[in-house]
Amino acid sequence: MNKDREEITRLINLYIDGAGKGDAAKLNEAFHANARWFGTMGGTDYDLDKEGFVGLMVGSPGDAGQLTAQITDIQIDKTVAVATVKEEGFWGTLSFTDYFTLSILEGRWQITCKVFAHTGGEHA
């Protein structure tokens, strides 16, 4: 189980670094080809596929110098996992709680879905 936790942590850190720096290669490695992103911010609903999310992060990286992100929980049940991440300072002023689902697919762990709760700050 320790090996699984290490790999899940590595993938979540690829998300954190990739979204923060707008690094498509890191995001593409972490997420399954058919991964989805969902959430609501400022009254706008977000429903993005992998291409849409990677494009958004490359075009507007999340780390404007203040981003902090911490994995607060990882739950593993055989071939499925859920990881929770708290982000502050995303795009400078925003805070989120992110929930990631992961599955072992094609013989390796992959992030299959990210849902987020916008927990603070205003998006311009």
What are the chain's domains?
A: 2-120 (3.10.450.50)
What pTM did the predictor assign?
A: 0.95
What's the confidence (pLDDT) of residue 122? 82
Whether the Cβ atoms of residue 69 and residue 91 lie closer than 8 Å to each other: no
What's the confidence (pLDDT) of residue 124? 59
What's the confidence (pLDDT) of residue 20? 97
How far apart CA 91 and CA 105 sit, in angstroms, is: 32
Q: Give the residues of the chain that fall short of pLDDT 70.
A: 1, 123-124
Whether the Cβ atoms of residue 28 and residue 19 lie closer than 8 Å to each other: no
